[in-house]
Amino acid sequence: MDLIRMLDVDGLAHGLADMSMFPYFDVAHYVVSIMALREQPGVVEVSRRSPFACWFSSMLFCFGGAVLSGVMMAEPPIAPLSNSTAVLLASLIWYLVFYCPWDLLYCCAALLPFRLVLSGMKEVTRTWKVLGGVTQASGKYQDSLLVMIAIGWAKGAGGGLIANFEQLVRGVWKPETNELLKMSYPTKITLMGAVLFSLQHTGYLPLQKHHLMLFYTVFNVVNKSRIVITGSSSSPFALVESVIYRTLFSSSSIHSSSFTALNPDTKKAVANNQLRRYSDSTPSKEPGESRSPSLGSSLRGKKEDRRTAKTKEQEDNGCKKTD
Amino acid sequence: MDLIRMLDVDGLAHGLADMSMFPYFDVAHYVVSIMALREQPGVVEVSRRSPFACWFSSMLFCFGGAVLSGVMMAEPPIAPLSNSTAVLLASLIWYLVFYCPWDLLYCCAALLPFRLVLSGMKEVTRTWKVLGGVTQASGKYQDSLLVMIAIGWAKGAGGGLIANFEQLVRGVWKPETNELLKMSYPTKITLMGAVLFSLQHTGYLPLQKHHLMLFYTVFNVVNKSRIVITGSSSSPFALVESVIYRTLFSSSSIHSSSFTALNPDTKKAVANNQLRRYSDSTPSKEPGESRSPSLGSSLRGKKEDRRTAKTKEQEDNGCKKTD
Amino acid sequence: MDLIRMLDVDGLAHGLADMSMFPYFDVAHYVVSIMALREQPGVVEVSRRSPFACWFSSMLFCFGGAVLSGVMMAEPPIAPLSNSTAVLLASLIWYLVFYCPWDLLYCCAALLPFRLVLSGMKEVTRTWKVLGGVTQASGKYQDSLLVMIAIGWAKGAGGGLIANFEQLVRGVWKPETNELLKMSYPTKITLMGAVLFSLQHTGYLPLQKHHLMLFYTVFNVVNKSRIVITGSSSSPFALVESVIYRTLFSSSSIHSSSFTALNPDTKKAVANNQLRRYSDSTPSKEPGESRSPSLGSSLRGKKEDRRTAKTKEQEDNGCKKTD
């Protein structure tokens, strides 16, 4: 019985691993990515004023991972443009999403059942992209786990990681936000995937590649579907993150330390920092809020939502990314 | 009679194609580029405060195309620095433009006849740069028309395309403007050249290379001379652009579409966008203004010039680029 | 007697040249670099809010030179990550500097004697990094002095040169300041080193490499120790810079020149510039202040320190870099 179930999983995993992303899954990726761009504030205006900048932004949303991993590996970031079929397909979808008569494509794809299916299919491509990045990195740097993780992550979540520069194309500059300062859910899940696939590749994770592909894909698709249906953006890692954060990074010792720094400037700067931190922490009542960046911010998010709905909404839109 | 004329054109085209850009045309390119830099607001102050930043900016104006195409092709962006003669020549001209006693060079070169000749010669170098970019790209990506166009464009109009980062060297940051959002005339003419030379290279354009070089060069020089003499910046493509824009990108359908998007945030964001677009479009009376970005903006430019001359002038200076 | 002394220097130089930077000097470099990051305003908050962004910034402080020279030479900027030992060592030090219980490491390292020793050791690594950059560049561009200087400089002072982008990781954007506009002491000394080592490499400087290494290292260590002890940041090149600046870049002729520019916009822009320059120069009483960027700014720095101590302190912290 167990053997048969095992065989089933194995067959399913092999089937998944042999599946081609082109054209259906790629199309889903382009549709979801370009719709995510369109839902950012100000983009519809840009699409009217400057179709070219809008197209370029769309391409960065679709191929951002390849561009970023190219830059990091000193391989031509222009390379995605050499795949004419993919670029023409993405351009066609860009055109339909932004300029389709009666806005047909966008309206259809925004319907819940379609959005659910497309988002699920897009999550499938993430597995392939992360794995592609890990394999590409391992070809150049055999034993380097860190490089594999970095390239796998960049390839899978490139659109989000280069968001600052993608926004610059559209004339928007938000230096105070980036995916390193405050990771979004897709960036986190991609980082986790990059770590797992790198560990599998170096043999530290006793799992076969197609099994890992299956598990990671199913986890992603299920989670994404939950997010699309419930609209909640609570991370499945919130608890783990919170524990790690409290254990490693919340030593309150820094407050009580007495500095004997050489430089009086330094002393003052640190004192100012402490003062500011103190005044910041005073009004916070929940211990979790100021401790865990993910847990805290999601809680805060919910509360503020009720208060300043409009501002928050704009912000959220600014951060919502599907890379 | 026709044959002789044909032979003449052929001989002329061959003569042009065999012409060396070094040193006279290169010098003209450096002079015009560095003068364009100097005419940007705030640059003279920077040249007094920090000669090094000024020199670096000048080099980006002169070699921006090589730097940008290097980055895009994963070839060393430092490479232009290895051509010592070119760098020393450009540096000498930088010095003379900014620090020459009695400002001799700038005053002379700014006289109409000299400016006309230098601008014309600079336009000749554009042909060589675009062609160089297309050839370089075709060496790496044989059949990829898109890569050829991109690299040819980057090589010919690099200074303009990296303007945001060139300005950053001088401590200026204008995220709201870039050449992708609103293309200037040199950027457009270079893009057109890159498309033509790429089509010629792949055989889609039934024209010999040296003939195309001659036609493109003559077109550029004539147009540039017209702009220098009349001071008008009306694009020769305004009509074509306007027609393309109206046909492809101005579907008013998006206004009337009824959204049934899953996400209420999206709905609101789109509604806001529509509202804003509506209120934007209300006061505009000319139909052409809001439709064509190029035609509209040039018309608007002329009207506003009379009203708020000073602000406009600063803006114009900020955008004037000769890359 | 002279011979023996000569032999001693030679032995010392050989000993220094054969010395390995790993692990002690590298550790000193990491400690000093990450402490310099921590002493920047707002970083302690970032380290609480987003440990990952803080870690990434720290890595850019530690390996910025390798990343920048990689980008410039079209070699993978991710390469430093492939040296796992170095990255783990730097990460450990990052953790101890920011999150150590009772802030032990930072408090100890900030004590004058330790800071003195660590700063001195860090300066020793500069020699190796500059030399490494020059050698790397000469491998690719044999005869190009300029490329050697640029890569040696980038490798030795990378952290400072990419400061704008390192700050962006932490959500800080200060476009008005960069190391090209106003060089800090470490950037200047590294540039000088890059010039010397490049001249030595190409044979223009009649000195043996290990002798130059010794002299440059001793000069750096002595100077840095002086700066750490006295707290003064007066450059040892201030006089030379001032002389060069007055000779080459302060031609007052530009004021008196009569422009006959074609473009009326240009004329106005230049006139505005002159006006602004005139109004700027009126209240300045010292002739040196507006002439020499280094001398002037250091004098100005001292005066303003007394007036607006707090603002200045923040600014200074913002500029203090140890790259």
Report the 3 state secondary structure along chain A.
CHHHHHHHHHHHHHHHHHCCCCCHHHHHHHHHHHHHHHCCCCHHHHHHHCHHHHHHHHHHHHHHHHHHHHHHCCCCCCHHHHCHHHHHHHHHHHHHHHHCHHHHHHHHHCCHHHHHHHHHHHHHHHHHHHHHHHHHHHHHCCCCHHHHHHHHHHHHHHHHHCHHHHHHHCCCCCCCCCCCCCCCHHHHHHHHHHHHHHHHHHCCCCCCHHHHHHHHHHHHHHHHHHHHHHCCCCCCCHHHHHHHHHHHCCCCHHHHCCCCCCCHHHHHHHHHHHHHHHHHHCCCCCHHHHHCHHHHHHHHHHHHHHHCHHHHHHHHHHHCCCC
Whether the predicted pLDDT of A277 surpasses 60:
no
Answer with the residue of higher pLDDT: C53 or A268: C53
Answer with the residue of higher pLDDT: A13 or C233: A13
For residue B8, is it within any domain? no
Number of inter-chain CB pairs under 8 A, B vs C: 125
Same domain for B63 and B93: yes
Rounded Cα–Cα distance for residues A263 and C35 (Å): 12
Q: Which residues on B lie below 8 Å from C276 (Cβ)?
A: 45
Three-state DSSP at B249 gives helix
φ, ψ of residue B136 in degrees (nearest 5) = -60, -45
Same domain for C193 and C302: no
Decide if C78 and A270 are in contact by the 8 Å CB cutoff.
no
Decide if C144 and B102 are in contact by the 8 Å CB cutoff.
no
For residue C317, is it within any domain? no
Matching residue, tokens 């433009």: B97
Rounded Cα–Cα distance for residues B310 and C255 (Å): 22
Decide if A82 and B144 are in contact by the 8 Å CB cutoff.
yes
What pLDDT score does A231 carry? 86
- Of B232, B262, B288, the one marking the end of a domain is B232
The residue of C155, C181, C204 whose CB has the most chain B CBs within 10 angstroms, and thus the best one to mutate to test that interface, is C181
pLDDT above 90 covers a percentage of chain B that reads 69
In this prediction, residue B9 has a pLDDT band, given cuts at 50, 70 and 90, of: confident
Same domain for B253 and B212: no
Are C232 and C289 in contact, with CB atoms under 8 Å apart?
A: no
Same domain for C57 and C180: yes
Same domain for C307 and C171: no
In this prediction, residue A251 has a pLDDT band, given cuts at 50, 70 and 90, of: low
Q: What integer is the mean pLDDT of A129-157?
A: 95
The residue of A140, A273, A276 whose CB has the most chain C CBs within 10 angstroms, and thus the best one to mutate to test that interface, is A273
Same domain for A86 and A194: yes
User: Could you tell me which residues come within 8 angstroms of residue C78 by beta carbon, excluding any fewer than 6 positions away?
Assistant: A72, A73, A147, A150, A151, C70
Same domain for A247 and A168: no
Q: How many CB atoms lie within 10 A of CB A2?
A: 6
If residue B248 lies in a helix (H) or strand (E), which one and from where to where?
Answer: none
Decide if A181 and C51 are in contact by the 8 Å CB cutoff.
no
For residue C215, is it within any domain? yes
Question: Across the interface, which of C51, C171, C313 has its CB nearest the CB of A177?
Answer: C171
- Of C216, C236, C256, the one marking the end of a domain is C236
Same domain for B170 and B33: yes
User: Nearest C-alpha of chain A: how many angstroms from B312?
Assistant: 19
Question: Across the interface, which of B41, B52, B82 has its CB nearest the CB of C141?
Answer: B82
- Of B207, B232, B257, the one marking the end of a domain is B232
Same domain for A218 and A74: yes
Whether the predicted pLDDT of B228 surpasses 80:
yes
What pLDDT score does B69 carry? 96
Same domain for A167 and A299: no
DSSP 8-state secondary structure symbol assigned to residue B258: P
Same domain for B174 and B63: yes
Question: Across the interface, which of B175, B250, B277 has its CB nearest the CB of A171?
Answer: B175
Chains that touch A (3 or more CB pairs under 8 A): B, C
Closest CA to B266 of C116, A176, A32, A181: A32
For residue A6, is it within any domain? no
The residue of B155, B250, B257 whose CB has the most chain A CBs within 10 angstroms, and thus the best one to mutate to test that interface, is B257
In this prediction, residue A5 has a pLDDT band, given cuts at 50, 70 and 90, of: low
For residue A78 the two structure tokens come to 């222009």
Whether the predicted pLDDT of B306 surpasses 60:
no
User: Nearest C-alpha of chain B: how many angstroms from A105?
Assistant: 11
For residue A8, is it within any domain? no
For residue A42, is it within any domain? yes
Decide if A103 and B257 are in contact by the 8 Å CB cutoff.
yes
Q: In B141-206, which ranges are continuous DSSP H helix?
A: 145-161, 163-169, 185-202
The residue of A60, A63, A81 whose CB has the most chain B CBs within 10 angstroms, and thus the best one to mutate to test that interface, is A81
Nearest C-alpha in C relative to A277:
C45
Decide if C82 and A146 are in contact by the 8 Å CB cutoff.
yes
What pLDDT score does A287 carry? 32
Decide if C249 and B48 are in contact by the 8 Å CB cutoff.
yes
> HSE on the CB side for C223, CA within 13 Å?
18
**Positive or negative, the Cα torsion across B150, B154, B157, B162?**
positive
Count of domains forming chain B: 2
Q: Which residues on A lie below 8 Å from B179 (Cβ)?
A: none
What pLDDT score does B152 carry? 97
Nearest C-alpha in C relative to A142:
C82
Question: pLDDT per position in chain C (323 positions), as tens?
Answer: 455 566 688 899 999 999 999 999 999 999 999 999 999 999 999 999 999 999 999 999 999 999 999 999 999 999 999 999 999 999 999 999 999 999 999 999 999 999 999 999 999 999 999 999 999 999 999 889 999 999 999 999 999 999 999 999 999 999 999 999 999 999 999 999 999 999 999 999 999 999 999 999 999 999 999 999 998 877 788 899 999 999 999 865 444 343 333 344 444 444 444 444 434 433 333 333 333 333 333 333 344 444 444 444 444 443 344 45
Q: Which residues on A lie below 8 Å from B69 (Cβ)?
A: none
Nearest C-alpha in A relative to B70:
A76
Decide if B169 and C177 are in contact by the 8 Å CB cutoff.
no
DSSP 8-state secondary structure symbol assigned to residue C103: G
Closest CA to A178 of B204, C50, B8: C50
**In this predicted structure, which of B154-158, B267-271, C248-252 has the lowest mean pLDDT?**
B267-271
User: Nearest C-alpha of chain C: how many angstroms from A37?
Assistant: 22
What pLDDT score does C250 carry? 80
Q: Which residues on B lie below 8 Å from C180 (Cβ)?
A: 50, 52-53, 56, 169
Decide if C313 and A269 are in contact by the 8 Å CB cutoff.
yes
Nearest C-alpha in C relative to A257:
C102
Q: Which residues on B lie below 8 Å from A42 (Cβ)?
A: 273
Rounded Cα–Cα distance for residues B114 and C261 (Å): 10
Rounded Cα–Cα distance for residues A152 and A192 (Å): 10
Q: What integer is the mean pLDDT of A295-301?
A: 37
Q: What is the pLDDT of residues A181-202, one digit of tens each?
A: 999 999 999 999 999 999 999 9
Are C61 and C159 in contact, with CB atoms under 8 Å apart?
A: yes
User: Could you tell me which residues come within 8 angstroms of residue A168 by beta carbon, excluding any fewer than 6 positions away?
Assistant: B164, B175, B178
Q: What is the pLDDT of residues B230-253, one digit of tens each?
A: 988 777 888 999 999 999 998 654
Q: What is the pLDDT of residues B39-65, one digit of tens each?
A: 999 999 999 999 999 999 999 999 999
Question: Across the interface, which of C74, C81, C168 has its CB nearest the CB of A150?
Answer: C81
Q: Which residues on A lie below 8 Å from C320 (Cβ)?
A: 265
Buried b (16+ CB within 10 A) or exposed e, B10-30: eeebeebbeeebeeebbbbbb
Q: How many CB atoms lie within 10 A of CB B251?
A: 16
Mean pLDDT computed over every residue of chain B: 81
Rounded Cα–Cα distance for residues A302 and C129 (Å): 50
pLDDT above 70 covers a percentage of chain B that reads 75
The distance of Cα B189 from the centroid of its chain, to the nearest Å, equals 7
Q: Which residues on C lie below 8 Å from B39 (Cβ)?
A: 263, 265-266, 269-270
What pLDDT score does A233 carry? 72
Residues in chain B: 323
Decide if B248 and A53 are in contact by the 8 Å CB cutoff.
no
pTM of the model as a whole = 0.81
Decide if B151 and A107 are in contact by the 8 Å CB cutoff.
no
> HSE on the CB side for A77, CA within 13 Å?
21
**In this predicted structure, which of A232-241, A279-288, C134-143 has the lowest mean pLDDT?**
A279-288
For residue A5, is it within any domain? no
Q: Which residues on C lie below 8 Å from B170 (Cβ)?
A: 181
What pLDDT score does B142 carry? 86
Same domain for C221 and C283: no
Q: What is the pLDDT of residues A71-94, one digit of tens each?
A: 999 999 999 999 999 999 999 999
Q: Which residues on B lie below 8 Å from A49 (Cβ)?
A: 181, 293
Q: Which residues on C lie below 8 Å from B231 (Cβ)?
A: 263
Question: Across the interface, which of B102, B173, B228 has its CB nearest the CB of C257?
Answer: B102
If residue C77 lies in a helix (H) or strand (E), which one and from where to where?
Answer: none
Q: CA C260, B101, B321: angle at the middle one, nearest 5?
A: 55
In this prediction, residue B305 has a pLDDT band, given cuts at 50, 70 and 90, of: very low
Q: Which residues on C lie below 8 Å from B230 (Cβ)?
A: none
**Identity at A208, one-letter amino acid code:** Q
Decide if B144 and A169 are in contact by the 8 Å CB cutoff.
no
CA max distance for chain A: 73
Whether the predicted pLDDT of B144 surpasses 50:
yes
What pLDDT score does B8 carry? 82
Decide if B261 and A107 are in contact by the 8 Å CB cutoff.
yes
What pLDDT score does A258 carry? 36
Answer with the residue of higher pLDDT: A185 or B315: A185
Rounded Cα–Cα distance for residues B26 and B33 (Å): 10
Rounded Cα–Cα distance for residues B15 and B17 (Å): 6
Decide if A172 and B173 are in contact by the 8 Å CB cutoff.
no
Rg (CA), chain A: 22
For residue C316, is it within any domain? no
Structural domain containing residue C219: 19-236
Rounded Cα–Cα distance for residues C165 and B160 (Å): 21
Rounded Cα–Cα distance for residues C65 and B151 (Å): 28
User: Nearest C-alpha of chain B: how many angstroms from A49?
Assistant: 6
Question: Across the interface, which of C145, C181, C265 has its CB nearest the CB of B317?
Answer: C265
